[in-house]
Amino acid sequence: MLSTASVITLGSAEGSSIGVALTAVLLLGIGAQWVAWRLRVPSILLLLVFGLLAGPVMRQTAAGNFLAINPDEIFGSDLLFALVGVSVGMILYEGGLTLKMREIRSSWRSVAMLVTVGSFVTWMVALVSAKWILGLSTPIATLLGAVLIVTGPTVIGPMLSHIRPSGVSGLILKWEGIVIDPIGVAVAVLVFEAIVAQPGTHSLDVTIQAILTTLGAGILLGVSSALLLKEVLNRFLVPDYLQNPVSLMLVIATFTASNLIKDESGLLATTVMGIVLVNQRKVDIHHILEFKENLRVLLISVLFIVLAARLRIEDLQRLDWLEVFGFLVVLIVVARPLGVFLSTLGAGLSWQERVFLCLMAPRGIVAAAAASIFALGLEKAEVEGFETIVPLTFSVIIGTVAFYGLTAPWAARLLGVADPNPQGVLFVGASGWTRALAGVLTKRGVPVQLIDTNRANIRIAVMNGLPATQGNVLSMGDLTEIDLRGIGRVFATTPNDEVNTLVLQSFKGYFETSSMFRLSRKVSKSADSGHSESSGRVLFDNGLGYNELEDRLQDGWVIKATNISSEFSFEDYQTLYGSAAVALCTLRDGAMIVSTVDAPASPVAGDTIISLVNPDELFMLRAMGS
C-alpha cells in the first residue's frame, strides 16, 4: 500500500556511506535519462537496466558489499515505501496539472470507458493468463492482474512527447495514463485486503464501503486542497519564493490526510487536486507546473533505480522466461486490443487512432511501487507465492516498455497519426515580410501558424490563406490555446526587441531552446550575439532586424525559393543573386534548417534555399553577364 511506502534507499551498510550511495543513485538516474535522450530510447529502459546492474547484479560480484545499492539495508522497508508513496502522489499531482478539461470535451467518453471497461478487461485477461500460463494461485493471479491495470504518466508522457501523436489519440492516452493510476491501485488494495483478511471478514458490503470511502476522501480532499491553494495564491498570502514550497506542502498533506481516512485514496486526492487547480482561471500556476516537472524527472530517476535495485537474482532466476514471454504476448495482443475495442465502440475515432491506442499500454513506476509494497505485505502475512509478484511485474514493465517504445513510434508514422519531428513554424508577429515567408513555406509543405495583436495584420494573413490568430502571447494564461500541432519551432518577429525576448521566455518548456529564434537586436554585433543563448537564436544575420526586413520588402525585394543541384550549386546561386541576398532557411529531405547567425545557410545539391533577394540587382547582374 503506497501510503506506507516509498523512495530513496541506497548503498550497502557494510561498505559505503549513505551519502556515497545517494550520489550513486542520482548519477545513475540522471545519467540514464541523459543517455536515453542521446540514444532516443525510452528512459525507463535504461533506468531499469542501471538499477538491475547496480543492485542484484552487483551484489553477486566480489565487490558487491561495497559497490552494490541495497535499499532495504540502509533505510528499512517502512521508510523506503513511505517515501515511494509520497513520491508517486507528487508524480500524479504533476500529471493532474496537465489535464485541462477543455482538451477532452469531445473524447471524455473514450477516457471514461478505457479507465473502467478497459481496466476490467485488462484485469480479467491478466488474471486468467497469470493463472493458466504462469501457474500462479488464484489470489496471487488476481492481485497481479490488478497491479497491471495501471499504465502511468511516467512512461506514457515521455513516449507521447517523442511520438507527438496528432488528433485526439494523444490526449486520450495522456488522460488514461494519469486517471487510471489511482483506480488501478485502489482495485489492487481491495484485492490485497481480501487476500490477507481473515475468513468471513471481507463481504460485499465491506468492499462497497471501501470503494465509496476511497472516492469520497480522495475527491473531497483533492478539491478542497486545490481551492485552498487557489485562494492562498489569489489573495497573495504567501510571497512568490514560497509558492512552490507551499504547494508541495499541501500536496503531501493532502496525500497523507486522505490515506489516514482510507489507504491509497491519497493517490486519487493528489490527482484530483492537480486537475482542479489547472482548470481554475483565477491564478496563474505555470511556475508551479514548471517546478513540479523538474521534480518529477528527479523522482522518477531515483524511484526506478531504487526499486529495480531491490530485486534479487534468485527471484529472477526462479521465473520460467518462456512462460513470462507468453504472458506478455497475451497482455499485448489480447488484453489491450480487446479493452480498446470495447471502450471505443461508437466513439467516433478513426481505425488508425484505435489501432494506435492498442499499441500504447506500457507499465511504469506505479506498477513497480505497488508490486513491491504488496509483496512485502504478503510476506508479512505469510501468503504463499508472494515472491513472484515483484519480478513478474518488473518483467512486464521491461517487456511492455521495450515493445511499445520500439514499435509505437514506427506504427504511429505508418498509421499517419504522429508527427515525431514537426517542421512547422509559429510566427509571433504577422508583418509583411513574415506573411511573405509564411506563404512560401506553406507552398513548400511546411506548416505555419501566425499570431499577432494587430488586427489588420491578421486580416491580411487570413485573406492570403494563412492560419492566423489575433492574440497576445504574453497575456495568455495557457499557451496551449494556440494550435501547435505540426509546429516545431517559434520565430519571435515583432518590432519590439524586449517583446521578442519575453515571447521566447514564455515558450520555454513548449519548444527546445535550439528551436526558438528571434530577430537581431538594435545593438552592435558583439552585444547581440551575447544574448543568443539566454533569449533565443538570432535569425538570419546580425543587423538585419524588423525595420530592415520591412524596408527591403517595401523596396521591391521578394522572398524566393530556389532549388540547388549539381548543375546549379550554392556558389552559382551566390553569384547570381549577389552578396546582398539574405538566406532565410533551407529545406532538405522534408526538414527545415533555419539560417542563423551561429549557423549560416550551407545548402547542398538537392536542397531548396529560401532567401530574400533583390530582383533589380539580379537584373543588373544578368545584364553585366550578357
- pLDDT confidence of residue 328: 94
CA distance 261 to 248: 20
pLDDT in tens, 347-399: 778 888 889 899 888 888 888 888 888 888 888 888 888 888 989 998 998 88
Query: 55 and 336 in contact (C-beta within 8 Å)?
Result: no
Percent of the chain, pLDDT > 90?
A: 12
- End-of-domain residue from the set 356, 387, 415: 415
Q: Which residue, 220, 230, 232, 274, is CA-closest to 251?
A: 274
Query: 228 and 415 in contact (C-beta within 8 Å)?
Result: no
SS3 8: coil
- End-of-domain residue from the set 361, 389, 415: 415
Q: Which residue, 20, 314, 47, is CA-closest to 158?
A: 47
Looking at residue 588, the DSSP 8-state letter turns out to be E
The verdict on 403 and 539 lying in the same domain is no
CA distance 448 to 450: 7
- pLDDT confidence of residue 199: 58
Q: Residue 54, Cα to own-chain centre: how many angstroms?
A: 26
The verdict on 540 and 466 lying in the same domain is yes
- pLDDT confidence of residue 249: 92
DSSP of 435-502, one letter per residue? HHHHHHHHHTT--EEEEES-HHHHHHHHHTT--EEE--GGG-S-GGGS--TTEEEEEE--S-HHHHHH
- How many domains does one find in the chain? 2
For the ranges 460-469, 573-582, 597-606, the lowest mean pLDDT is seen at: 573-582
The verdict on 453 and 385 lying in the same domain is no
The verdict on 404 and 298 lying in the same domain is yes
The verdict on 618 and 568 lying in the same domain is yes
Question: Structural domain of residue 587, as residue ranges?
Answer: 424-625
614/477: higher pLDDT = 614
The verdict on 433 and 391 lying in the same domain is no
- Does pTM top 0.75 for this prediction? no
* Mean pLDDT to the nearest integer, 476-496: 73
- End-of-domain residue from the set 415, 432, 467: 415
Q: Hey, what amino acid is at 610?
A: I
The verdict on 187 and 314 lying in the same domain is yes
The verdict on 316 and 410 lying in the same domain is yes
pLDDT at 301 over 60: yes
- Backbone phi, psi, residue 537, to 5°: -80, 145
- Backbone phi, psi, residue 584, to 5°: -100, -45
Angle between helix 71-96 and 286-309 (nearest 10): 150
CATH number where 13 lies: 1.20.1530.20
The verdict on 440 and 572 lying in the same domain is yes
Averaged confidence pLDDT in the chain: 80
Which residues does residue 583 pair with via DSSP β-bridges, in sequence order? 611
pLDDT in tens, 80-125: 778 888 888 888 888 788 777 766 776 788 888 998 999 999 999 9
> Which residues, 6 or more positions from 385, have their beta carbon under 8 angstroms from its beta carbon?
136, 137, 139, 140, 378
According to DSSP, the β-strands at 516-518 and 558-563 are unpaired
Percent of the chain, pLDDT > 70?
A: 85
